[in-house]
A and B are shown apart, each in its own frame.
Chain A
Amino acid sequence: MPCDALYLHIPFCEQKCPYCDFYSVPARPDRMDAYTGALIRAIETAPFPMGRLDTVYFGGGTPSVMGGKRLAQILEAADRQFGIQSGAEITVECNPHSSLPETFRQLFSAGANRLSFGMQSASDRQLALLGRPHTCADVETAVSQAQQAGFSHISLDLMLATPGQTAGDIQAAVDTCARLGAEHVSAYLLKIEPGTAFAARDVGRLCPDEDGQAALYLTAAESLARAGYRQYEISNFAEDGQIARHNYKYWDCAEYLGVGPSAHSFIQGRRRFFPRRLQAFVENGNPWQLLEDDGPGGDAAEYLMLRARLADGIRWASLRERYPAYDCDALRGRAKPLADAGFLELDGEGLHLTVRGFLVSNAVIENLIG
């Protein structure tokens, strides 16, 4: 099946969040104009055969800081070049405090149909601690403006195990998500990435310990389930039928094309990426010359590693279809003790990790792959 997923990286932010290690630079209009041009050029010269797009994802950085016009131009270019299927999922990440109603309207009329907001917490105290420039009220405003602009598919990001966070904080955040009518929630355990401001300040020492983190994660999963968000991936929860189709492709080990500095691709059987250099990307007449190879992708181990993240888990039928030579019995043998210990469930259809299994999934996956 030809690749039908496109990721576009927008490497601009108004300010850098102290826990974030994604690639971004300060948003300046001249830079954003130049980048828009470069991205369109890159789309028009993409050296890979693509199918008509089923999903498009603007990630960042903060795509919304580009404004609706630039994003619309990029989306048009993608449509011209690859074609976009009707019913395609087109997602844009937005920040909750400075996205203008105008931007939402422009995005909606350009065809975008799903917005993802970095809400993080319903507690203003927590938000300040995380160095976020918005309040909970900003989130409510932004979501309702987006809905007024026509968006019905809203996803909110939450952060778990932040310094001083309680189960009550999490419950409050989940309640807010439900009240605002979000149909999708991503809830991430905070990880202190090396090289970030949080790492430099050793914020890790203020965070809950391993047991505390585990407890908060379980609280979140339960609260979200009660609010109608079914867990379908380690950190992702959605109302029925509302999973993130683009992101699901990552976990299904499907191919995707990523464009922009730091964007990764899995295309024509290989994993590749653009270096984290905006200037080079903009200035190079052919940015595809910058694309680096990151080795072959899509072998059985990778497939298992990714599918194990999903609540659907690994289906024997799909596994056999994709990897006819794979020794499923050996996999079942490795899975058995993990099932006995309650880390996963094993049946005739396949296997899938339990919530407890998700919490120690690195170790579980390692044991599974063998």
Chain B
Amino acid sequence: MMSVKRENIRNFCIIAHIDHGKSTLADRILELTEAVSKRDMEEQILDNMELERERGITIKARAVSLNYHADDGQDYQFNLIDTPGHVDFNYEVSRSLAACEGAILVVDASQGIEAQTLANTYLAIEHDLEVLPVINKIDLPAAEPDRVAHEVEDVIGLPCMDAPRISAKTGQNVHEVLERVVTDIPAPKGDETAPLRALIFDSYYDSYKGVIVYVRVMDGAVHPGTVIRMMSTGAEFSVVECGVMGATTLVPRDGLFAGEVGYIAASIKTVRDTAVGDTVTDAQNPASEPLPGYRQVQPMVFSGIYPLDGAKYADLRDALEKLQLNDAALSFEPETSVALGFGFRCGFLGLLHMEIIQERLEREFNLDIITTLPSVVYKLRMTNGEERWIDNPSSYPDPALIAGAEEPFVKANIFTPTAYIGNIMELCQDRRGIYIDTKYLDTDRVELHYELPLNEIVYDFFDALKSRTKGYASFDYELMGYRDSKLVKLDILLNGEIVDALSFIAHADKAYPRARRICENLKDNIPRQLFEVPIQAAIGGKIIARETVKALRKDVLAKCYGGDITRKKKLLEKQKEGKKKMRQLGSVSVPPEAFTAVLKLDKTD
């Protein structure tokens, strides 16, 4: 990877809705810059996490440096920074954008703009990025590039008539996109002689080199041997290696200079020392001010994660620590539950982030886990004037001491074909949504604006929205602040005893239907046992819902002769295995599914 002068560097990202072709375009760009051979192109290289490929989304940012020989005869260094594609990762997206001067906005020629695209485009415009619209999938029969170009102009206000119209799939006109990157996206600015300031936009843990930090150098330079300091924490490290990201491997260089995107390895043990958005400076010659925009990531959703097998507690901790190496947004601290034993209270950016962590714990670390109901962070005003933030039902205080409560609200934008407006309004109303307005994008599509309590969308709002719109609606939200609310803490009792792991905080108006639904779900998921198991939901001491798992009446092997003994023994062993997976709550055996079943609150399933 050769070094080029700063005027020939282009730092950019690609913004696209899921399925609109971001990864395919990235692949074509890699091919055209000959960063990778065709043979290696079988997989979409940027999405290199298994889970990402399955879900078709980018969870973590990745970056790659490419050489491009342009039509003007000059060589350019393209730094393509991939951005996460989900609302949960808005902050990470903003840091990736801050590392760029431009963004390619990919819009599907048949589907037009979606909520997510819009949100990220606005974010790019806020960061003063040059946005380069590209109409993709013109090879599709349903493609309407003119209509979509108009929509981009109308909705975003970006000139789009001369936007490249391409097919990332066939490669048609992709060359034009690269040329437009050269001509339209500005070269980075920055002062090479100023003290080092490099923006961290991603990092991951490598077992050989320690944390690999992806940075955009804004000012100054960094070399192997430089002692660097993380400006938010003050932690210092000596740079062992730095360089740029090739398409398939890291390419070491003797320095990174203002305007460049690259990596630093400095024997850093944990990504907690390399928070996304933090500024790296030179400890010997530090910058006076960090780069703007750093904030500590605030988890919005909390839930308890417990190992199914209590003996795996240490493994779970190790796994969470390893995940945290690559995911500074994940927070966790030890917590104990009477029902579930030792586990961790984990904080997530949102529900998708939570699901991803759960899936990775199960797949990559082979852990069987139980997750408790997610909770948002509530604000309680106490009678003594104190203010308390509660993210865990177990720390919910005596209601007599609460003067007032507030819950977080979000501003939600829902893009939908007009046919589903009714369904969506019904759903939002059911979720205590406050209707703001409807914006017609064209005759078939609208953008609905709602204000919704975050606690109504953390459980299953995405699924409910999808099932009510045949998957056509898209949804995006941002936190807007706290509002007064009437909250209650609901306890679930099995056999008369409170199961702490099933308690949750709910809006008073929603407590009764939710309690009933949870009792029903539990009844369906707790097998009959030797004893009858009453399931109750209570607020304070008052029971508001009840179901019963009837006692086993008959569970017997009538015939057990010579030939039945090993079969019976194996059956018993199998039952024992199954029972091991169960949680023993007093005298009640509860299968782990029961804990997740309570999450499913939507009545349509």
Give A contacts to B, CB under 8 Å: 7, 59, 160, 188-189, 191, 210-211, 213-214, 217, 234-235, 247, 250-251, 256, 258, 262-266, 271, 273, 294-295, 297, 301-302, 305-306, 309, 337-338, 341, 343, 358-367, 369
- When the two chains form their complex, are residues A250 and B558 in contact, meaning their CB atoms are under 8 A apart? no
Q: What A residues does B572 contact at CB under 8 A?
A: 301, 305, 362, 365-366, 369
- When the two chains form their complex, are residues A189 and B556 in contact, meaning their CB atoms are under 8 A apart? yes
Known: A263-B563, A337-B587. A362 touches B569 (CB 8 A): no
Known: A294-B566, A367-B530, A369-B572. A234 touches B558 (CB 8 A): yes
- When the two chains form their complex, are residues B560 and A251 in contact, meaning their CB atoms are under 8 A apart? yes
- When the two chains form their complex, are residues B530 and A360 in contact, meaning their CB atoms are under 8 A apart? yes
Q: Which of A160, A262, A366 contacts B576 (CB 8 A)?
A: A366
- When the two chains form their complex, are residues A309 and B560 in contact, meaning their CB atoms are under 8 A apart? yes
Q: What B residues does A7 contact at CB under 8 A?
A: 562
- When the two chains form their complex, are residues A271 and B566 in contact, meaning their CB atoms are under 8 A apart? yes
Determine whether B122 belongs to the interface, using a CB cutoff of 8 Å to chain A: no
- When the two chains form their complex, are residues A271 and B530 in contact, meaning their CB atoms are under 8 A apart? no
Binary flags per residue of B576-591, CB closer than 8 Å to A gives 1, else 0? 1001000000010000
Q: What B residues does A189 contact at CB under 8 A?
A: 554, 556, 558
Closest CB of chain A to B209's CB: distance in Å?
49
Residues of chain B at interface, number, CB under 8 A: 25
Known: A189-B554, A343-B530, A360-B530. A264 touches B566 (CB 8 A): yes
Closest CB of chain B to A369's CB: distance in Å?
7
**In the bound complex, CA of A294 to CA of B562 (Å):** 12
Q: Which of B531, B553, B561, B579 contacts A210 (CB 8 A)?
A: B553
Closest to A9 in B: B563
- When the two chains form their complex, are residues B575 and A211 in contact, meaning their CB atoms are under 8 A apart? no
Q: Which of A210, A235, A266, A341 contacts B562 (CB 8 A)?
A: A266
Extra inter-chain contacts (10) besides given A189-B554, A234-B556, CB under 8 Å? A7-B562, A214-B553, A217-B554, A235-B559, A250-B560, A251-B560, A273-B566, A361-B557, A366-B572, A369-B572
Determine whether B155 belongs to the interface, using a CB cutoff of 8 Å to chain A: no
Determine whether B565 belongs to the interface, using a CB cutoff of 8 Å to chain A: yes
In the complex, the 5 A-B pairs of residues with the closest C-beta atoms, listed nearest first: A264-B563, A214-B553, A188-B558, A362-B555, A189-B558
Determine whether B401 belongs to the interface, using a CB cutoff of 8 Å to chain A: no
Determine whether B525 belongs to the interface, using a CB cutoff of 8 Å to chain A: no
Q: What A residues does B555 contact at CB under 8 A?
A: 359-363
Q: What B residues does A210 contact at CB under 8 A?
A: 552-554
- When the two chains form their complex, are residues A191 and B558 in contact, meaning their CB atoms are under 8 A apart? yes
Closest to A364 in B: B530
Closest CB of chain B to A257's CB: distance in Å?
10
Listed residue (B554, B555, B565, B575) with the most chain A CB atoms within 10 angstroms of its CB: B554
Q: What A residues does B571 contact at CB under 8 A?
A: 362
Known: A362-B556, A366-B575. A305 touches B569 (CB 8 A): yes
Q: What B residues does A366 contact at CB under 8 A?
A: 572, 575-576, 579
**In the bound complex, CA of A217 to CA of B558 (Å):** 10
Q: Which of B178-213 contact A (CB under 8 A)?
A: none
- When the two chains form their complex, are residues B556 and A358 in contact, meaning their CB atoms are under 8 A apart? yes
Known: A247-B561, A343-B530, A366-B579. A360 touches B556 (CB 8 A): yes
Q: Which of B556, B559, B563 contacts A262 (CB 8 A)?
A: B563
Closest to B552 in A: A360
**In the bound complex, CA of A267 to CA of B8 (Å):** 85
- When the two chains form their complex, are residues B559 and A258 in contact, meaning their CB atoms are under 8 A apart? no
Q: Which of B522-544 contact A (CB under 8 A)?
A: 529-531
Closest to A302 in B: B569
Q: Which of A234, A273, A301, A305 contacts B563 (CB 8 A)?
A: A273
Determine whether B363 belongs to the interface, using a CB cutoff of 8 Å to chain A: no
Closest to B559 in A: A188
Known: A302-B569, A359-B554, A369-B572. A250 touches B530 (CB 8 A): no
**In the bound complex, CA of A193 to CA of B124 (Å):** 66
Can you show 23 pairs from A to B with CB atoms below 8 A apart?
A: A188-B558, A210-B553, A214-B553, A214-B554, A234-B558, A234-B560, A250-B560, A258-B563, A263-B562, A264-B565, A294-B566, A297-B566, A302-B565, A309-B560, A341-B531, A343-B530, A360-B552, A360-B553, A360-B554, A363-B552, A363-B555, A367-B530, A369-B572
Known: A337-B587, A360-B530, A366-B575. A250 touches B554 (CB 8 A): no
Q: What A residues does B529 contact at CB under 8 A?
A: 363
Determine whether B147 belongs to the interface, using a CB cutoff of 8 Å to chain A: no
Determine whether B5 belongs to the interface, using a CB cutoff of 8 Å to chain A: no
Q: What B residues does A265 contact at CB under 8 A?
A: 562
**In the bound complex, CA of A213 to CA of B568 (Å):** 21
Q: What A residues does B568 contact at CB under 8 A?
A: 305
- When the two chains form their complex, are residues A297 and B565 in contact, meaning their CB atoms are under 8 A apart? yes
